[in-house]
Structure 1
Amino acid sequence: METEFVISTGGTGGHIFPALSVAEELAERGREVLILLGGPKFEAELPFRTVRIKSGHLHGFSLKTAGALLSLSGGILEALSILRREKKKREIKLIATGSYATLPVLIAANLLPVRYYLLEQNLLPGTVTAIFAGRARAVFGTFEETRDYLRGTRYIRTGNPIRKGVRNRVEKALARRELGLPEEGQLVLVIGGSLGARSLAKKALWATEFMPGIFFLIQTGIRNFEEIRAIKGERGENFRLVPHIERMDLAYSSADIAVSRAGGGAIAELAYHGVPSILVPFPEARKNHQYLNARALHEAGGALVMEENELTPESLAVALQRLLENPQKLEIMRKALQNFAAPEAALKIVEIAEEL
């Protein structure tokens, strides 16, 4: 009997995009895929059979309000009903991406029971991963250091899966032409994760004044775009602001260097494309986990780390200029990123989940 894979995900793109990458790999192998999507409304339509699960009031694993408890209870009942129904038709296996939005589904999987696997994007495991890792058939992760936090579990470093559309590598001049960017000269890509980063975009925009010969492509995030555009306009001689970048493959292929937050998804994509970066960890991330991610990539040789409280337009410009004026250093960083990257992450996860 053919196995069906259920993928539980939700929250931000950092959790959802790896889930979609695994789903794409499963679909290519002819597997049935059902996505259980929790958390806040995700605007993009998913190209797979998808059912929404109640978990909208759960944030950062907080159960301090009646709304959160009701949402969790409703989500567990929904997940039990769906998993029980699917289990009657065929064997099912569950892959969960570890965000708080997967909590109801993982509770249901333990009650039925259903065989499940966890995917952890960050070096420091999230609360949901830490709770459920002991009973998971395997925990897939990005960083070797994560193993120390999950002793007694079956932890496998596969890397963080990247969406098929982001995996395209395009010749630099062609990528810039496709995006309408200058084909000559050096280019800095500024990104802040799937939602953008307001302070990062603002400081990068002011840094353009100190680097007139360098072009900046700055992703602001949709909710920040109008505010940041009001500062200097949407375009200047050496910058362009965009609310969102649909073709991230072209953006990475265009860049000589990136300035980015340090979520697991961004790090995986930067490594895959071999883009040296200055990582600015989000200071309010849970238990400062982005800093741990950033330090790991720095120690691997692929990034520099600047903390938010030391980041100014001037300090950012100085750090960028030092790297851009040192092609040998950039080449060393690119080679380090190639060693860190895991281009076959989704394939490895699927092959292991099919066997275990």
Structure 2
Amino acid sequence: MSSTPRTLSVIVAGGGTAGHIEPALAVADALRELDPTVRITALGTERGLETTLVPARGYELALVPPVPLPRKLTGSLFKLPARVMSSVRATRRVIDRTDADVIVGFGGYVSVSAYLAAGRGPLRRSRKVPVVVHEANASAGIANKVGARIAARVLAARAGSGVTGRGRPDAEIVGIPVRPTITDLDRPALRAEARAHFGLPAQGPVLLVTGGSQGARSLNDAVSGAASALAAAGVSVLHAHGPKNTVTVEHTDPRAPYVAVPYLTRMDLAYAAADATVCRSGAMTVAEVSAVGLPAFYVPLPHGNGEQELNARSVVAAGGGVLVTDANLTTSFVATEVVDLLTDAPRIAAMSAAAAGAGHKGAATQVARIVLDVARGPRP
């Protein structure tokens, strides 16, 4: 007598920033593709982007208190244990309610609670839940370093991220999960529709500029300052300047327009419309840009631990992009180096092929298969 297989339950934990949420949702999409019956619950906090991104993608969102980890010795450090306990208790309730078979974490505030609620130690539950950790950045954050200690499988975008080597020598290099609307994008086939959508000309080169909601100002100033030079070379611009910023371009040419918008809701169309991009080099940005084969001028954020430069190195080494420091991205640079690339079709074609070859288009499916293997394994 055969029994009906139990519906699997997966918790994805990656709230806070788009860099944590998008890989989590890409894996969720791949899980549904592989097993339409799987129950997926996204763990998040009320202050993160997940409050809009997760419901928009059709997934259940369970909110828990955030656990921001202080980086300096301040008064907030003394409040940390109570905050951790509160968040872990809330996470335990989500685990019990969903009868989770596996937790897959992508770093960030909520992952700390998920790892502690599922793993060993003084906060152990009566039934452990296996953990899969994915690290997208070139330098692992505190949350994933914690998670890697108790995880059944550890996955990383690249070697040397801090969860590989001495940390977890069995870590698997899989790339960064990217949603199907990006990995399956046929840029040439969508080009005409994409350009019409943004009011860009059907012919001639197009530069895409994105700086994100933070750190966009220097990109905005450098590119908008070169608007006349870009127009004179016949280069149109699609510029997402960020909702907190504005871009003013005094001289425009209808034959090579400068289209400035606060935010792009259709990144697939933006990628399809463009021939090259000027952008930051966050892990998710590099993954998407390389997946679609778009030549890029990567401009790492000038502050932080330098991980944005590390994120882009492999694509640049392959010939799919150019690294530019924030200080060197000037109006003069855009008017010369960026214009030179966009008016050199053979070079654009070679860089496009190199960028596409450096990406990991199948990462989301690969991670989803690993998650299902762990979920279907023996319960701890």
Normalising by the residue count of structure 2, what TM-score does the alignment of the two structures yield? 0.84
The counterpart of 2:68, out of the listed 33, 58, 62, is 58
Within the alignment, does 1:192 sit opposite 2:207 as a pair?
no
1:145 CA displacement:
4.5
Q: Using a 3 Å threshold, how does the CA distance of structure 1 residues 63 and 353 change in structure 2: closer, same or farther? A: farther
Equivalent residue pairs, number: 347
Bigger Rg, structure 1 or 2: 2
Within the alignment, does 1:98 sit opposite 2:107 as a pair?
yes
SS in 1 for 2:239: strand
1:2 CA displacement:
3.1
Residue 216 of structure 1: aligned partner: 237
What amino acid sits opposite 2:10 in the alignment?
A: F
Alpha-carbon distance between aligned partners in 1 of 2:327 and 2:204, rounded to the nearest angstrom: 30
Q: Which is richer in helix?
A: 1
Matches within 5 A, 1:1-356: 1-28=6-33, 29-30=35-36, 31-38=38-45, 40-42=47-49, 44-46=52-54, 47-55=58-66, 58=68, 64=74, 65=76, 69-87=81-99, 92-110=101-119, 111-112=124-125, 113-146=128-161, 149-153=164-168, 154-167=170-183, 168-170=185-187, 171=189, 172-193=191-212, 197-212=216-231, 213-224=234-245, 228-229=246-247, 231-232=248-249, 237=254, 238-285=257-304, 287-356=305-374
Alpha-carbon distance between aligned partners in 2 of 1:201 and 1:354, rounded to the nearest angstrom: 43
Deviations along 1:254-306, one digit per CA (max 9) or x if unpaired, are 11100010011111111111000000001223x11101112222112211000
1:193 CA displacement:
3.5
1:61 CA displacement:
5.9
Work out whether residues 196 and 219 of structure 1, in 8 Å CA contact, stay in contact via their aligned partners in 2. no
Q: Using a 3 Å threshold, how does the CA distance of structure 1 residues 38 and 63 change in structure 2: closer, same or farther? A: farther
SS in 2 for 1:139: strand
Q: Using a 3 Å threshold, how does the CA distance of structure 1 residues 70 and 235 change in structure 2: closer, same or farther? A: farther
Normalising by the residue count of structure 1, what TM-score does the alignment of the two structures yield? 0.89
Work out whether residues 34 and 48 of structure 1, in 8 Å CA contact, stay in contact via their aligned partners in 2. yes
Gaps of 5+ in 2: 1-5, 375-380
1:348 CA displacement:
0.5
What amino acid sits opposite 2:28 in the alignment?
A: A
What amino acid sits opposite 1:215 in the alignment?
A: S
1:107 CA displacement:
1.3
Q: Using a 3 Å threshold, how does the CA distance of structure 1 residues 17 and 62 change in structure 2: closer, same or farther? A: farther
Alpha-carbon distance between aligned partners in 2 of 1:84 and 1:267, rounded to the nearest angstrom: 37
1:159 CA displacement:
1.7
1:347 CA displacement:
0.7
Gaps of 5+ in 1: none
Q: Using a 3 Å threshold, how does the CA distance of structure 1 residues 347 and 104 change in structure 2: closer, same or farther? A: same
Q: Using a 3 Å threshold, how does the CA distance of structure 1 residues 339 and 147 change in structure 2: closer, same or farther? A: farther
Alpha-carbon distance between aligned partners in 1 of 2:162 and 2:116, rounded to the nearest angstrom: 23
1:134 CA displacement:
2.7
